[in-house]
Chains A and B, each alone.
Chain A
Amino acid sequence: MREVTGVVNESIRMALSSLMTHKLRAGLTVLGIVIGITTVVGMVSLVQGLNQSMARQIRSMGTSVLYVRKYEPGLFMGELPESLRHREDFEVADAEAIERLCPSVAAAVPLTYTGGVFKYGDRETRSNYAVGTFPAYLDIQDLAVSEGRCFTEEEQAHRADVCVMGQDLLEALFPHSSAVGRWVSFGGKRFLVVGELEAKGKFLGQSMDDYALMPYSTLQKRFGPDLDTYINAKPVSVEDTEKAIDEIKEVLRRRRGIPPNKSEDFAVFTEDVLMDLYHKITGTFYIVMIAISSIALMVGGVGVTNIMFVSVTERTREIGVRMAVGARRKDVLLQFVIEAVVLTAAGGVIGIALGAGAGWLVEKLVHIPSAAPVWALLLGLGFSSAIGLFFGIYPAVKASRMDPVEALRYE
């Protein structure tokens, strides 16, 4: 019984020596492999990092917010489809009805947005926005006031020009002092700051503190009436989420007069839907990544085949010598396959290092979190080795089929 490990060790030893002898040639050959594996590992790192941060953020939101919208979020190419564009808007009465009629809903508020710039003295913010809603919004979104107070039901009822500001706006307008009691301007109108919101931090590199809250009625009066109205709600408990969605749908169907045999012209969903959408986007990411990397790996693989042919020809004499001293055809085959695998695996290792490094760099530079999971690293290594196996086999077969007499005579 022959000891196979001896031949394998010998092959690895010779492969490494060959690699060291032809560093430049080996480097150029595996460039495609390096690019392919870098792409895979880098992209996986980023997507995995985003996933983790996404899951963490959603957990930190704590409550499950119910979103009532005219349609589910989705990936639309260009404009919204005609069928969705003419759906009926929501109104304040819808939110009030949901809160009143749905036993599983703890609270429901209307909201509306408008963008603009906040100014105080000669300071101004970059482009931000104001959310017009009811005070219960704080409870639904799990927000807290760190200084001052929220606007009241009375202020909402009387369309008072008041607002509660997010931390980003406060930093820009009031870096050294409290904002409570000051008048700021937004969209050419003046508003009294009555409170400051607690910081929520960043999500996917996007600040969640870059807006101000004001009464729904105020925003509609000052910037309406063409603004869309949405509804956010909160179930009594997380377990009641499904029930709450069903109840909201029932109430809205009745209010919008939808017969039982027709489907809804609105959508009620939770973050799960956003998560699904997010996964769709990352799925597209993965497809693009696979496309780029498979082209690179193909090109790299063909390069490996080519250089292995060169190597086999250069070492014809060596092959003859090995056969003369007792190498079987399969030993020669094994040697050259291992050499190709060592070559591409080396490329894979470089690719993994570059990919993980790129992820790390992106995290440092643009604060998109990255995490290179072990399975991605192993996948990179396994895949690059497989490329060596696949593209190295033909030259190796050619080597193993040489006639020892001819090979020994080769100059």
Chain B
Amino acid sequence: MAELIEIKDVKKIYHVGAEDVHALDGITLTMKKNEYLAIMGPSGSGKSTLMNLIGCLDTPTSGSYRFNDREVRDLSDDELARIRNKEIGFVFQTFNLLPRADAAHNVELPLIYAGIPRADRRRKVEQALEAVGLAERARHRPSELSGGQRQRAAIARALVNEPSVILADEPTGNLDSKTGEEIMQVFEKIHGAGNTIILVTHEEYIARHSGRIIRLRDGLVESDVSV
């Protein structure tokens, strides 16, 4: 089977003032469909940068990143947007829900940009909210939801377009440990349903939910262990 993600000697260099910061200093890794991967590392290790690259929010300074057998560097802005829309679902530490839109509307956003007709959108939104156990709170705004409920809404948004991979950046970082555990249950459930998940975390016990842990240090892969 073809690799879903193929990263070869990828570097990302930021220019901060007169200095060059090597956020990623030559990373190579591959990932198959239906894997559940955790990326760990101290702050400044480059895990967020790697996340942004994998999520097609950013492009590498050098090296090759093939997503679904396509070289990301060669894609236009519109094509990157399309990949983010159809192939990638983001879950953020701070949820990043639109405050003035209710849960259903937030979940609907990727479908709107995908150009899916209204009736289909409504059905898919319902299914996604159902899947994360938030169906009854569909008409509530983020401010009327608890932290755990917000993150469920965000996960529903990430799931709704049936992406190839879900990228979760510290998804439990803003939650208490009990709620965090509940959210991890949700991830396990959606992994069980056949989804591919990449989790960025610095919590060992969160990482242990995954099937493979990659540790980064100073922009390099320190270890890559299947659990």
Contacts and interface: CB of A to CB of B under 8 A. Distances in A.
Contacts of B7: none
A77 interface: no
A interface SS class: helix
B157 interface: yes
B189 interface: no
B98 interface: yes
Contacts of A1: 115
Q: How large is the interface on B (under 10, 10 to 19, 20 to 34, 35 or more residues)?
A: 20 to 34
A10 interface: yes
B interface SS class: helix
A3 B115 contact: yes
Contact of B113 (A14, A18, A331): A331
Contacts of A75: none
Interface stretch (A65-73, A119-127, A262-270, A320-328): A320-328
Given A7-B113, A331-B113, A408-B96, A325 B90 contact: yes
B81 A323 contact: yes
A323 B83 CA distance: 11
B81 A329 contact: yes
A6 B118 contact: yes
Contacts of B58: 404-405
Given A328-B81, A329-B81, A404-B57, A321 B115 contact: no
Contacts of A322: 109, 113
B84 A4 contact: no
Contacts of A185: none
Of B81, B84, B96, B157, chain A has the most CB atoms within 10 Å of the CB of: B81
A18 B81 contact: no
A331 B57 CA distance: 16
Q: How large is the interface on A (under 10, 10 to 19, 20 to 34, 35 or more residues)?
A: 20 to 34
A321 B89 CA distance: 11
Interface string A298-322: 0000000000000000000110111
B100 A21 contact: yes
Contacts of A18: 100
Nearest to B98: A318
B79 to A, nearest CB: 9
A405 B113 contact: no
Contacts of B55: 324
B92 interface: yes
A323 B98 CA distance: 13
A217 B191 CA distance: 112
Given A17-B100, A322-B109, A405-B57, A328 B78 contact: yes
A2 interface: yes
Nearest to A7: B112
23 contacts: A2-B113, A6-B111, A6-B116, A6-B121, A7-B112, A10-B109, A10-B112, A14-B100, A17-B101, A318-B98, A321-B96, A321-B97, A323-B84, A324-B96, A325-B85, A325-B90, A325-B109, A325-B110, A326-B113, A328-B113, A329-B81, A330-B78, A405-B58
* 6 cross-chain pairs, A with B, having the tightest CB-CB distances, nearest first: A326-B85, A2-B115, A3-B115, A326-B113, A328-B81, A325-B110
Interface of B: 52, 55, 57-58, 77-78, 81-82, 84-86, 90, 92, 96-98, 100-101, 109-118, 121, 157, 161
Interface of A: 1-4, 6-7, 10, 14, 17-18, 21, 317-318, 320-331, 404-405, 408
